[in-house]
Structures are given as C-alpha cells and as structure tokens.
Amino acid sequence: MARAALLPVALLLCLAMASSADAGRKTVGVYELKNKKGDFSIKVTNWGATLMSVIVPDSNGNSADVVLGYDTVAGFVNGSSYFGALVGRVANRIAKGRFVLDGITYHLYTNDGNNTLHGGLRGFSKVIWTVKEYVPSGDSPYITFYYHSFDGEEGFPGALDVYATYQLSGSYDLRIRMNATALGKAKATPVNLANHAYWNLAGHGSGDVLGHQVRVRASRYTPVDDESMIPTGEVAGVAGTPYDLRRLTPLGSRVGLVSAGGAAGFDVNYAVEGDGFRPVAYVREPVSGRAFELWADQPGVQLYTGNWLRNEKGKAGAVYRQHGALCLETQGFPDAVNHPNFPSVIVRPGGVYKHHMLFKFSSPEQRSVL
Ligand SMILES: *[C@@H]1O[C@H](CO)[C@@H](O)[C@H](O)[C@H]1NC(C)=O
Ligand SMILES: *[C@@H]1O[C@H](CO)[C@@H](O)[C@H](O)[C@H]1NC(C)=O
Ligand SMILES: *[C@@H]1O[C@H](CO)[C@@H](O)[C@H](O)[C@H]1NC(C)=O
C-alpha cells in the first residue's frame, strides 16, 4: 500500500522537474506551448520575449503558422522588423528621443530618424530575458519571462522589473500578460509595452493580407505628422475618413487610401472605445475561415499593415512582401510622454504597470457558421 502510494508521488516529482528544468536559465532557447488536443501551439524565445510561431487550424482543421518570423532565433537577432517581439521600455515613437519628467529632461537613443522607436537601440525586444516558469502542456500551458531593466538603460529613468507571460487556455485562446514594477524611491518612468506579432491568418507565407477583414472598436484616432510620424496631439474622429473600421472592412479597400511616412497602408493608433479589459478588434480571413477577436486593457491599438516589408526572407523559405501581414499592437498612445492630453504612461516609484491581451481564435466549428 505504502509503496503503491509512493510511486505516483515520485512520478509527479519527476514530471514537475522536467517541466520546470529550464526555469531560471538565461541562455537563449526556444520553448513550445501546446494545447491538449495538439492542434494549437506556439513557440516563443527568451530573446526579446518573442513570439516565433502560432499554429492554429482553419475551418477544415488544417493547421498553419499565422505569424511572420524566422526559423531560428539567429534570424530574430538579425532582423529589423520586430517580428513577434515584446517591445519596450516604451513602444512606438518618442519625438526627438526626448521628454521632460518631474522637471528633468531625459535624452534617449534616436533610432528612427530623429525619434526613438520601440525603446531605442537595444530595447526589451533585443535583450535576453530569464525564463522564470515553463509549463509546456496541460489545460493552460504557459511560460513566464523576466527582465530587469537598469536605471538609465537606453536613457530611461529608474530601474524596472518586467514580467511577460504567454499562455494558452480554453479551446484556442492565446493570452499575453505583462507587468512592470518601478523600483527605487526616487524616479518615475514611462512604461508602454507591446507585442509586435505580424499576423497573416491565411498562413505566414501566403502573400498579402488585403483580403483580411478587420474591425476596430474605435471612433477616434491620433493623426500624425506625415513626415516625422509623430502625433500632432489631436484626437480626431474616424467618421468620414478611410480610418473608420467600425464595421468589418476588407483591408484591400482601404490600403490605397491611407499612408504613413510615405508608404501606403495603415500605421495608425486608435483610441479604443471604453476602458478596462474589453474587445478591441476582430480579424477574419475569409478563405481559410480563421479569425480572432483581440481583447485588451490598454487605451490604444496601433494598426500596422507591414507597409515597409520588402522581400524579407522568413520561415521555411517564405519571402514577406509589402502588406504581407498586419499588426495590432495594444498599448498607450504614441509619444504620450510629450502630450499631456494623452492617457499617461508614467509609472511612479513602487507603482505597477499592467497589460493584458487575449487573442480568441475561433474554433473550426465556429468558423463554418460565420
Ligand atoms: C540579416 O539581415 C539582412 C538584412 O535584412 C539580410 O540580408 C541577411 O540575409 C540576414 N542574415 C541572416 C543570416 O539571416
Ligand atoms: C532631424 O532634425 C534635423 C534638424 O532639425 C533636420 O535637419 C533633419 O532633416 C531631421 N532628420 C530626419 C530624418 O527627420
Ligand atoms: C507580475 O507577473 C508575475 C508573473 O506572472 C507575477 O509573479 C507577479 O506577481 C506580477 N507582479 C505584479 C506586481 O503584479
């Protein structure tokens, strides 16, 4: 009796050790999460807390990888498009790499003309994160990454402890939870994290996304100066403009009508309706039948249609071209540090930043009735 009871305990211990064997490591690795049915999985790497692949079935149950990327981590290290990356300390642009906080002027590395983009030269997407926890399978497999950002990193004030968790749950839900705690007692800092996945629901190498239908729950957006790509400060209505995506709209009917920084397509921040954790956008690819609804608790979402992709060599020999994917980056407003009328992205010492995203992919059964 005692022996029989001991055996399963020993077995459980072994399993627990195997699944957490990589926890605490700071070498670069690739980690997979898979649902019980085996038809929904992702791969991530602790290089930049990057989402490398997302495999989901279509309406006939056929699987495809629906995010752009590279076969190996080396590809992501070399790449310059932020495929799947977790960007920070401050995602999006900061005008002239400069802001004033509590009377002090901070200067950041400018890596986008005269502006700072996605955290500077070596933002959170270009550092090695620590794997804190890794549960690859079961009902809700997950992985948690941790990064300590030091006071002054890329010019930002104050040290920060950052966590990012990727988790599968339900039938086809992919959740990303981020948090960041401002350490020390003296310095406040801006924090604005974003996941920069490039989606193509027909499959990552299937061509352009102009046939994708998109709905964004926003009646306002933040127009930018077309040359500098910096918000003018206005929060304008979408009604009567090609930015109005309140009804499900094929991207192909709009990409020729909008442009940013001289390239055709969307690269725009929407002020999402409401607050708290709520639906933000819906994307559907009619041929495969794949769709997702995106939920998040952030004030904005940047819609980008891969306007600058030019013959980028990606996974499995695929070549990614202009409009080969779309990004929906939930986040604070761009350049919020320089626009007092935008929702604040400042975290006070001891304060905690939180960001919760949920991609609810429709199941094959749901798709057939859409
Ligand atoms: C690195 O990136 C450059 C420019 O995007 C590309 O031409 C080159 O093939 C890449 N090298 C590797 C090893 O991926
Ligand atoms: C950067 O700023 C300088 C000085 O204002 C200006 O001459 C230059 O055109 C700017 N560069 C870019 C790429 O915007
Ligand atoms: C941040 O996330 C980590 C990992 O999920 C968690 O352990 C920690 O408690 C969170 N921190 C805060 C302040 O919520």
What are the pLDDT digits (tens) for 229-261?
A: 999 999 999 999 999 999 999 999 999 999 998
In one letter, which amino acid is 344?
S
Q: In whole angstroms, what is the distance from residue 33 CA to residue 19 CA?
A: 11
Per-domain boundaries in the chain: 9-361
Q: Which residues line ligand 3 (CB under 6 A)?
A: 144, 163, 165, 179, 181, 352
Question: Can you say which residues are annotated as belonging to the binding site for beta-D-galactose?
Answer: 92-93, 196-198, 267
Catalytic machinery residues: 196, 329
Is-cis flag, bond preceding 310, omega within 30? Answer: no
Give the nearest ligand 3 atom to 181 CA.
Answer: 13
**Which-ligand-closest: CA of 176?**
3
Question: What does the DSSP 8-state code read for residue 12?
Answer: H
Contact call for residues 50 and 125 (beta carbons, < 8 A): yes
- The residue whose CA is least distant from atom 12 of ligand 2 is 113
What's the whole-model pTM score?
Answer: 0.92
CATH code for 9-361? Answer: 2.70.98.10
The number of the ligand 1 atom at minimal distance from the alpha carbon of 78 is 1
Ligand 2 pocket: which of 98, 112, 114, 224 to mutate (most atoms within 8 A of CB): 114
pLDDT at 364: 82
> What is the dihedral angle through the alpha carbons of 318, 324, 328, 334, rounded to the nearest 10 degrees?
110
Say whether pLDDT at 227 is over 90: no
Q: Give CA separation, 1 vs 6, 7, 8, in Å.
A: 9, 10, 12
The average pLDDT across 224-228 equals 89
For the Cβ of 233 lying below 6 angstroms from any atom of ligand 1, the answer is no
What Å distances lie between residue 217 and 81, 277, 284, 294, CA to CA? 26, 13, 15, 10
Cα–Cα distance measured from residue 293 to residue 306, given in angstroms and rounded to the nearest whole number: 20
Name the residue with tokens 């920069």: 196
List residues near ligand 2 (CB under 6 A): 113-114
Q: What is the mean pLDDT of the chain?
A: 92
Ligand 2, residue 228: give the atom nearest the CA: 14
pLDDT score recorded for residue 25: 56
Tokens matching residue 284 = 């559907």
Measure the CA–CA gap between 87 and 49, rounded to whole angstroms: 9
Q: Can you tell me the mean pLDDT for 152-178?
A: 97
* Share of residues in the chain with pLDDT > 90 (%): 87
pLDDT of residue 129: 98
Q: What is the pLDDT of residues 312-363, one digit of tens each?
A: 999 999 999 999 999 999 999 999 999 999 999 999 999 999 999 999 999 8
Tens-place pLDDT, residues 137-151: 999 999 999 999 999
Q: Is the CB of 77 under 6 A from ligand 1?
A: no
